Amino acid sequence: MSDVAASKIPVTVLTGYLGAGKTTLLNRILSENHGKKYAVIVNEFGEIGIDNDLIIGADEEVFEMNNGCVCCTVRGDLVRIIDGLMKRKGKFDAIILETTGLADPAPVAQTFFVDEDVRDKTTLDAVVTVADARWLSDRLKDAPEAKNQIAFADVIVLNKTDLVSKPELAEVEARIRGINPYAKLHRTERCQVALNDVLDRKAFDLDRILEIEPEFLGESDGHDHDHDHEHDHHDHGHDHAHGHGQGGLKHYHDEDMKSLSLKTEKPLDANKFMPWLQALVATDGQSILRSKGILSFKDDDERYVFQGVHMMIEGDHQREWKADEPRLSKLVFIGRELPEQKIRDGFEKCIA
């Protein structure tokens, strides 16, 4: 990473439905003895008790770019606030942006893709979604915003786990995984989570798209389900998302929001793949919330990685494939009513 990139200020987006515990998590982050200074952008200025020197009230003004395409919405207030905050660079190490409970994270993320000034100065670190273990299952049924926030997340803090029974917890986790099997999930009471689990994640850094594997429950958080299951799931790769009730673990299809993963050991034709991906996000970008991929192209010794939000895609060569590394191409899409067969067929045609 160059010095210029290293000096970019990381921005963590904190989202979650009303009452899930965003402010609790924010205050935990700020009160912890980490020696870092944060600039905090909140939506309800001055109405909640947050103890921090640099607090900025935001208006969540979502602007449409490019003549009103809904896939190109950005947060205009964020552009202005980051411009103003940068006058004080050196006074803080990172920015935490709290959205309202009803906000769609996409315009925030897209701001970091489209706006050149924001891109020059800051980097989107991760979308962290706080979810209420007790009420999330209900909200996923009646609040599309809550579902968006889960689907969009890089990190999910499943809070208030002390208010539910074990079966209830398993139920809500399975519902989360039915939508987004890729986010890191942490179970918490009163948002007690290690800071390095929510901050400095570099989830949008192309250099960090090392592996695209579903995140399974109980990997490192001391959960009580047995190792065989985990192993089993790893072996099954993406099939997992489509098998129900494997080994006693619940799995759900969400009716409209799901993930789709594609994999091939055959090299792809870059001249076919890139136009296909661009055409796909141009036509179906509205359905695709997040996308990521690690690609192996024919006659190319370097891994190509990309990631995207709705219609916006960024990609680059990452590094050379290692000698002992299988040259697999893997893609993941998370979205609403994904045209699964169309995506699978299109992808097949990109094989060289």
Partner 1 sequence: MTSFNSDNPASIVSVTDRTLKIELPQAATALHFLGDSAGFVGVEDSVSFAAVSGEVSTHDIHGGGILCTVSDGKRIVTGGDDGKLVTVDASGATETIATDAKRRWIDNVALHPDGAIAWSAGKTAFVRPTKGDEKTLDVASTVGGLAFAPKGLRLAVAHYNGVTLWFPNMAAKPEVLEWKGSHLGVTFSDDNKFLVTTMHEAALHGWRLADNRHMRMTGYPSRVRSMAWTADGKHLATSGADTVIVWPFVTKDGPMGKEPAMLAPLKAKVTCVACHPKSDILAAGYSNGMVLMVRMQDGAEILVRRDDDAPVSALGWNAKGSLLGFASENGDAGLLPL
8 binds partner 1 (CB under 8 A): no
Question: Exposure pattern of 299-334 as b/e (b: 16+ CB <10 Å)?
Answer: ebeebbbbbbbbbbbebeebeeeeeeeebebbbbbb
**What's the min distance (Å) between Cβ of 234 and partner 1?**
45
* Number of residues that this document lists for the chain: 352
CB of 87 to partner 1, least distance (A): 4
Query: What's the first-to-final CA gap in the chain, in angstroms?
Result: 32
Tokens at 165, concatenated: 């029974």
Q: What single letter denotes the amino acid at residue 232? A: D
Dist CA 44 CA 323 (whole Å): 53
Question: Min. distance of Cβ 76 from partner 1 in angstroms?
Answer: 5
Cβ proximity to partner 1, 67 vs 220, nearer residue: 67
| Residues from 29 through 48 that contact partner 1 (CB under 8 A) | 45-46
Cα separation values, 200 from 67, 313, 324, Å: 35, 22, 30
- Out of 32, 117, 316, 325, the residue judged to bind partner 1 by CB under 8 A: 117
Backbone φ and ψ for 74, nearest 5 degrees, come out as -130, 165
Among 51, 116, 142, 224, binds partner 1 (CB under 8 A): 116
Q: Residues 49-78: x/- map of binding to partner 1 (CB under 8 A)? A: -------xx-x-x-xxxxxx-------xx-
Closest listed residue to residue 109, CA positions, set 65, 73, 77, 82: 73
**Segment contacting partner 1 (CB under 8 A): 81-89, 255-263, 290-298, 311-319?**
81-89
Rank residues 84 and 247 by Cβ distance to partner 1 and give the closer one: 84
φ, ψ dihedrals at 12, nearest 5°:
-105, 125
Cβ 303 to partner 1, closest distance in Å? 31
Binding region for partner 1 (CB under 8 A): 45-46, 56-57, 59, 61, 63-68, 76-77, 79-80, 84-85, 87-88, 115-117
